[in-house]
Each structure stands twice: as structure tokens, then as C-alpha cells.
Structure 1
């Protein structure tokens, strides 16, 4: 990489891999892939991480997992997959402008939602409740469990065997973790991730890219579904200012194009704000270790944009996420997950053979395998599984 900043993560000096002697054959390099940081062939170790994520089954299943709308019928609504791709695009732009490692940033963006169960946060709430006596459930920790234990295409080790830097970023892209749940604590015991420090700038950029993407693209989907009205958006002063600028520049454009321009413009404003604020925050930093030891977030919004972003989130919860139709669909989705968990807990023969073979005799391990199985489902597979078990199709989950 050219123009690498001194505080950027370095693929030639990363923290290693959990299974250092793993030797999966690389079809692109034509030689065993590096296990402990050695780079062979045309790809860096962070590029290998990204490629392993993209080629995983867990990543492919994101195409049928809820982003905002539960099991939508329309082709144009975002799913976890399209959201992850949009996060990665924003992340690469920010990483390149800041001199960070684009490949690590992209890999983190693509992997950050791998632990989400079907039906988004509604499904997560149901699994968390079902797993309350067995350590709980959290999609961030589940993403790490997915890439370290569940997604296992290689014959000589569990998981994708990603670099320490990638795993560290997944574990704490939202900041240090002082009280890890059972999943994260177990993985940290096996391959310590220094949970008490801030992660690399690449991980911090992945987190803020996620915020930028869903803050704005959820507006786009909400308008498309008719759950948001343009006049509602104009109640927010900073969006009203942008809207007046769009109308002035494109007075004769159709309304829908003006609204899409508003969303694009807001993304641009947020990206530029992050660049300006982050550059100011990292002035004088000369290594990635200094970033981790800084004791504070370095990549993020200015104070003014932070307040705008919080206001926008409150607006979205009020108008979109807690819309009566959304709440109703979420309740039905939680019921599907709860019924699946109850069924598999009572009768393991309902699970596929490969999953039933993983079940230990007792809890909490047994409950965790059941949660792993359900968490990996797509929306449609969860609905079909519930119908197959109970003889009736869950109704009302498609709200757009």
C-alpha cells in the first residue's frame, strides 16, 4: 500500500492467527496461505481475511436477513448483505483518505453483521431472552463466534482463522469491552484480544461507517415504504437546510430524485466531517499501538455532527423503527424465534443431522448450539422451519 500512515495497521506486522501452522491452499497464490503473518502470492494477510469472509456461507446468507423491514417482498429494500456492502464502500473511502489499511477496513465492514440472527434486532431480542439462563446472546459476540468457530471450511482447524487484528476489530469496534458475555469471554480465553483497549483506527472507521450507512439508507428505505414522509424529515433543521439546497440546485427534478440527492448529500457531509475530525484527533500519533493505548475514540464525528446524528437516530426510532406496523411485525418475528428455540430444545430430532450431531448432553452447551443454529438462519428459512414444525405459516411478517 502506498501512502500508508504510521498509525495504520500493517498486514506484514499483524498479531498473528489463532492457528499459526494452518496451511490452507490458496488458489490465487498457488502456495500455502500464511498462518502467522507471512505474505505469499499477490494478496496481503488482510486481503486473505476479506476474501475468506466474502466466500463464507455466513456472508452469503446475509442476502436474506432483515436490515430494517422484516422479510420484505420488494426487490429494492436493503438486506444485511446490501447494507454490509454499503458500509464497506464508505469504509474504504475513509480508510484511503486517512492512509489506513483499506483491506482490513473493508473486511471489518463486511463481517460486522455476520452474527445477526433472522429478523434483525427483533430476532436478537428473542434469542437473548431464550438464552438468558445460558449466558445471553449478542450479535457482536456471535459474529466473532461465527468466524472463529462456526464457519469452518478448512480441514485442519475451526473457523476462518482470521488475523488477530480483524478479530480484535470485530470484538470491540464499538470500543473496549469491560464485561464480555460468555461467547466473547470464551473466545478471548482461547485467543486473547486485549478487550480493555480501543481497537485500531480501521475498526473505529468500520463502526462509524456503519452509522453513516444505516442512518441515511434507512431513510431511503423508509421513504420507499411510505413509513416516512418527506415533510417529517424537514422537521430536522439540519436536513431542512440540505433539502433547501437540493431544491435550489435541482428545482425541476422529480421529487423522488430530489430525496435521493438529499440522502447522498447527507452521506457526503458525514464522511467529510469524520475525515476532518479524525485528522484533528490523530495529529501527532505515530503508531497503531499509540492508537490502541489512547484511551479514547479517535475516529468519529465532530461534536456538532454527533448531536445531529443523535437527533436523527431519535427521529428514526420514533417514525420508522417504532412505527406500529414495524412493532407488530417485530412481535410476530420474536414469536417465530421463541417457538423455534422451544421446539429444538424439546425435540432435537427436528434439527438437521449435522447440527444434531454437535449437541452436547446438557446445558449451557446444548442451548448454545441451538442458538447458533437459529442465529445462522435466513428470514425465509426461519419462517419455513416454523411452518414445518407447527403446521402453519407465521402470518404478517412481510410489512412492505
Structure 2
């Protein structure tokens, strides 16, 4: 592989929390290839197929879920990594795992768990993603968790850049495996983070248009989107309208990808090693100032017109109530927990509260609704608005 000198090298990984033999019967894979494969084969990853991305419990098959979003992030991440000569396997692993800690119903579920566990440190989906990978998803006989490489754990912990160990979950995990939280992560991790932005910025537009929550006229008020639409109409004047909309989204993704590549290459001037990247004291891979400003405007538009749409907020509040009621039921009567979770329930706080939150956070939207019906004798209403 033609790897750039500033790329992460699996042969020089900082290792795993629990040492493993590098050679084994499972094929000639690098450390980062194994990490990616462990994530793909995990139960937690499979559950993403039934977890909310934008629309809660959508009836339509064409709306994105956390799983399809993660796959789309990985596709964009690999394009960026290949063009920059980074390690594609590390980039893909980070892209695929970045949302693995989300509870059912997305941010509505997270809000409910944060409120329920506030006295015992709260709940944060980013830290929960790392907790799932390091402690909760445990298919191996020799150690807890997936025992991923340090570089994957670092990238997960710093998905949004350098951070303080400001919550209990991250503090515990950083104590077990020091993750150098105050510094920027590898370029692969930075690419995975910007790939996430590119994917949901544009694919949420696609879903919002499909659902009728936003209109083309509304989004064309953004001049940089209007420029793309005029180009689509010039090149494909006879194409059906729905195909033009998809071409618009593809064009926006391409525009952002090319901007990231140009800006990152300029920022790499003088940086020779992966440690140069971590020690640069600034973000190396991201949008140019002009594109960053446009992307912030796009996000504001999406919050105003889609994420905070009246119907969306109403459905989110009903979903929050479902998760809050599930937590209250399990807290009051732990016999309602499934057998495996009931058998391992700690007796003391804060571990008891966190154990119940872990159980709920692992649920899919569908399983949460099934559990609600089993406990309260009725199906939760009004969760799907598309």
C-alpha cells in the first residue's frame, strides 16, 4: 500500500488494551483490518439497522437509519482516505463505529437517559460508543469488549476533536487506556469526523425532501445550493424532477469532498509524521473557511426546517417519554429486565443506574416499543411521522 508518511501504520500501532498474538488462524489481516471486521461482526453494529437517524420509526423503507448512515459515512471516508494516502481500514473502522452508542430514537432517547441518570453522571452517546466497544460488546473468551487498537479508541474518543475526560464513562475508559485526550487525533480520525458531517448534511436533505418536511424552494434560498441546482438543470434539462434532486445531493457531496481534499493538502505542508498531525495543535483535515461558513448555514437551515420541525419535535417528545417510562419501569421493578441483564445487575449505585441505562441504550427502536407494550399493555402511539 502506498501509505503517506503522516498516515497511521498498523504495523506500528500502540497496541491493544489486552495483548494478543499478531499471528493466528484467521487470515493475513492488519491490526486495523481486524478492528474493522470486529465492528462489522458485532451485535451492536447490526442493531443500527433499526435505530433512528432523522425520522423516528419510519414506515417507509427508503429513509436512512443509523446503519445506512454509517455505511454512507464509511464510503465517503474511504474516498478521502484513499486520495490522501491514509490507512483506509482505520478510517473505515472509525466511520462504521462512530454512532454505535446511540440509544433508541436517537437524540430523543439520549435526552431521556441523560435526565434519568443525571444524579449518577448522566449519559452521552459519544462516550457510550467507546463504552460499547471496550466493555459491553464482549464476544471473546479472553477479554471484555472488542479489544480494538489504540488508534481506533483514540479516534472514537476524539470524534469531535481534543476533549477533556469530562464525563464518568470517558474518565473510566481513559484511566484504563490513556487516550491522550488533549491532543488532536490521527488524520484518519479527522477524516472520519468530516465524512460524518458531509454524509448527514446532504443525506438528511435527501430524506427531508422525500418526506416533504422541506421543499426545494426553501433550500434554494441558500445561494451555494442554488448554484448547484442551476448546474443540474443546465446539464439535465429533460431529466425527471426526482432524479434532479438526487443529482443535487450528489453534487453537494462532491463539492464538499473536493473542498476537504484541497484544504487538507494545503494544511499538510511541513507535516511529515502521524505525530506531527497529533502535535500540530489544530485541525488538519476539514472544510476550508468558505465551505465551513456555508456548511454552518446549511446546518442552521436543517435545524430550523427539519430537525426542529413541529411534527419532528412532537414525535421526539413522545419518543423521549417512551424511553423515560422504560427506565422508570426497570428502576422500580428490575424483574422486568431480560434474564441476562437481570442476573448481572449491580446492587449499589451508581453502577445499578448505569447498568439499566446500558440495557436501554442497546435497544433498537423496535425492541424498545415491544418492551413498552409488554410493560404497559399498549403500543406507544405517534412515534412515526413519515
| TM-score, shorter chain, exceeding 0.5 | yes
Q: Confirm or deny that 1:135 pairs with 2:121.
A: yes
- Whole-angstrom distance in 2 between the partners of 1:28 and 1:20: 17
Alignment correspondent of 1:55: 41
- Whole-angstrom distance in 2 between the partners of 1:293 and 1:371: 36
Alignment correspondent of 1:291: 277
How far apart are residue 26 of structure 1 and its match?
A: 5.7
- Whole-angstrom distance in 1 between the partners of 2:41 and 2:108: 27
Alignment correspondent of 1:18: 17
Aligned with 1:160 (options 141, 146, 165): 146
Alignment correspondent of 1:178: 164
CA distances 1:112-164 after superposition (whole Å, capped 9, x unpaired):
00000000111111111111111111111000000000000001100000000
Aligned with 2:83 (options 97, 111, 133): 97
CA distances 1:89-124 after superposition (whole Å, capped 9, x unpaired):
000000000010000000000000000000011111
- Whole-angstrom distance in 2 between the partners of 1:390 and 1:371: 19
Alignment correspondent of 1:258: 244
Aligned with 1:339 (options 306, 313, 325): 325
CA distances 1:351-377 after superposition (whole Å, capped 9, x unpaired):
011101221112100011101000000
TM-score by length of 2: 0.99
8 Å CA contact 2:165–2:181 kept in 1: the answer is no
Q: Confirm or deny that 1:114 pairs with 2:68.
A: no
Alignment correspondent of 2:174: 188
Q: Confirm or deny that 1:5 pairs with 2:11.
A: no
Aligned with 1:28 (options 4, 26, 29): 26
Alignment correspondent of 2:234: 248
- Whole-angstrom distance in 2 between the partners of 1:100 and 1:116: 27
Q: Confirm or deny that 1:371 pairs with 2:369.
A: no
Paired residues in the alignment total 386
8 Å CA contact 2:83–2:261 kept in 1: the answer is yes
- Whole-angstrom distance in 1 between the partners of 2:242 and 2:24: 46
CA distances 1:321-363 after superposition (whole Å, capped 9, x unpaired):
0111100000000000100111111111000111012211121
Partner-residue secondary structure (3-state), 1:199: coil
Aligned with 1:384 (options 352, 370, 375): 370
- Whole-angstrom distance in 2 between the partners of 1:130 and 1:309: 34
How far apart are residue 22 of structure 1 and its match?
A: 6.7
- Whole-angstrom distance in 1 between the partners of 2:146 and 2:241: 46
Aligned with 1:354 (options 340, 362, 366): 340
8 Å CA contact 2:165–2:174 kept in 1: the answer is no
Instruction: Say what the alpha-carbon RMSD is for the aligned residues.
Output: 1.1
Structure 1 unaligned residues grouped into runs of 5+: 30-41
Q: Confirm or deny that 1:216 pairs with 2:214.
A: no
Which piece of structure 1 moves more, 175-184 or 291-300? 175-184
- Whole-angstrom distance in 2 between the partners of 1:322 and 1:173: 24
How far apart are residue 27 of structure 1 and its match?
A: 5.5
How far apart are residue 21 of structure 1 and its match?
A: 3.9
How far apart are residue 179 of structure 1 and its match?
A: 4.1
8 Å CA contact 1:22–1:157 kept in 2: the answer is no
How far apart are residue 86 of structure 1 and its match?
A: 0.2
Residues 27, 79 of structure 1: CA spacing in aligned structure 2 closer, same or farther, 3 A cutoff?
Answer: farther
Partner-residue secondary structure (3-state), 1:12: helix
Aligned with 1:82 (options 68, 71, 75): 68
Alignment correspondent of 1:280: 266
- Whole-angstrom distance in 1 between the partners of 2:293 and 2:379: 43
Aligned pairs for 1:57-76 (under 5 A) are 57-76=43-62
Partner-residue secondary structure (3-state), 2:12: coil
Alignment correspondent of 2:312: 326
- Whole-angstrom distance in 2 between the partners of 1:50 and 1:107: 4
Please list every run of at least 4 consecutive aligned residues from structure 1 whose deviation after the TM superposition is greater than 4 angstroms: none
Structure 2 unaligned residues grouped into runs of 5+: none
- Whole-angstrom distance in 1 between the partners of 2:155 and 2:222: 33
Partner-residue secondary structure (3-state), 1:114: coil
